[in-house]
Amino acid sequence: MGIPDEKIFPHATGRAQNLVHAREGAADLVFHGSWFCPFVQRAWIVLEEKKLNYQWKEINPYKKDKEYLAINPKGLVPALTQKGVNVTESQVIMEYLEDISGPDVRMHPADPLQRAVARVWMDHIAKKIVPCFFRVLQAQESDKQKAAEKDLLAGITEFVEAMDPEGPYFFGNWFSMVDAFLIPWLIRQPAALKQFKGFEIPKAGSPVWDRWGLWMESCASRDSVKNTSSDQQHYLQILERYANDTAQSEAAKATRKGEVFT
């Protein structure tokens, strides 16, 4: 007797489906992902940006498959296997991909101090933006939802105020790790937040929201982002379970307990 989440739609759709087919062949670098997972998409975007050769293996993290548990005892996605070593945690994988690829496909600033700035803002995204998405979507009480909305807008505002003013990306005219770290949530969440919670993040109307709208649209139209995204209706189906707070992902459970999942 499994949980309903196990019956999740089994594969990518849209452009992501094409990409998955293109990445079926064996490769030295194996990327274990789930088509629907935003944490997976972070690292997937980086693989694509860096034009690395990899094999995609679809994992259903709700099924706790023994073979996969040998790779990641926590059963979470994403995971990366290369030279017999398994790497887990989206940010660790992204830093690894940066380490093994050349300066021509750099996604961190060359300057160490600016690299530190990038990591500070990735930490901010992880602690002050992403958890708020889950909190708004899973809220079952109006006051909890309002509090989460307020925190989400505050977290985003702080992030926008740190961006290069011209943009369109965080650091200006080049797409970096910071952008890849957050954009997956903006592919999935806005439609769900509007449909299930009647909430929209502003996309224009003041300098902050204009800049936010520019960032979002530029990141969303990036090839690496489009090619790793599935059709909206499939995301909405999954996010509906978050909206009625029955989802059983680790992120959902953590949010229910009032914790931050990173």
Partner 1 sequence: MQIACPEASGAALRTVQTHESTAALVAHPGWFCPFSQRAWIVLEEKKVSYQYKETNPHTKDKNFLAINPKGLIPVISHKGVNVSESQVVMEYLEDITGPDVRMYPADALQRAVARMWIDHIAKKIVPCFFRVLQAQEVEKQRAAETDLLAGITDFVNAMDPGGPFFFGDWFSMVDAFIAPWMMRSEYVMKHFKGFDMPQRGSGPVWSRWWTFVEAVQTRKSVVDTTSELEHYLPNLQKYANDTAQTQAAKATREGRDYS
Q: Which is nearer to partner 1, 12 or 76 (CB)?
A: 76
- 251 burial (CB, 10 Å; 0-12 / 13-18 / 19+) is buried
Q: Of 196, 228, 234, which Cα lies nearest the Cα of 50?
A: 228
Is residue 164 within the footprint of partner 1 (CB under 8 A)?
no
CA distance 31 to 22: 13
Per CB under 8 A, the list member of 1, 83, 102, 205 interacting with partner 1 is 83
Is residue 82 within the footprint of partner 1 (CB under 8 A)?
yes
Per CB under 8 A, the list member of 10, 112, 165, 198 interacting with partner 1 is 112
Is residue 256 within the footprint of partner 1 (CB under 8 A)?
no
The nearest distance, CB 114 to partner 1, in angstroms, is 8
* Count of residues making up the chain: 262
DSSP for 45-103, please give it. HHHHHTT---EEEE--TTS--HHHHHH-TT--S-EEEETTEEEESHHHHHHHHHHHS-G
Q: Which is nearer to partner 1, 18 or 53 (CB)?
A: 53
Q: Which is nearer to partner 1, 1 or 110 (CB)?
A: 110
Alpha helices in the chain (DSSP H): 14-22, 38-49, 66-71, 90-100, 112-124, 130-138, 142-162, 177-197, 207-220, 223-226, 232-243, 250-256
Q: Which is nearer to partner 1, 123 or 217 (CB)?
A: 123
> At 172, phi and psi to the nearest 5?
120, -125
190, 200 contact by CB (below 8 A): yes
Question: How many C-beta atoms lie closer than 10 Å to residue 193's C-beta?
Answer: 21
The nearest distance, CB 155 to partner 1, in angstroms, is 13
Is residue 27 within the footprint of partner 1 (CB under 8 A)?
no
Instruction: Pick the piece of the chain touching partner 1 (CB under 8 A) from 14-22, 117-125, 145-153, 205-213.
Output: 117-125
Is residue 227 within the footprint of partner 1 (CB under 8 A)?
no
Q: Which is nearer to partner 1, 69 or 120 (CB)?
A: 120
Per CB under 8 A, the list member of 87, 208, 220, 236 interacting with partner 1 is 87
Is residue 110 within the footprint of partner 1 (CB under 8 A)?
no
CA distance 155 to 128: 5
Is residue 85 within the footprint of partner 1 (CB under 8 A)?
yes
Contacts with partner 1: how many residues (CB under 8 A)?
A: 26
Per CB under 8 A, the list member of 34, 47, 57, 89 interacting with partner 1 is 89
CA distances from 122 to 11, 47, 248 (A): 29, 18, 25
Q: Which residues bind partner 1 (CB under 8 A)?
A: 82-83, 85, 87-89, 91-93, 95-96, 99-100, 112-113, 115-117, 119-120, 123, 257-260, 262
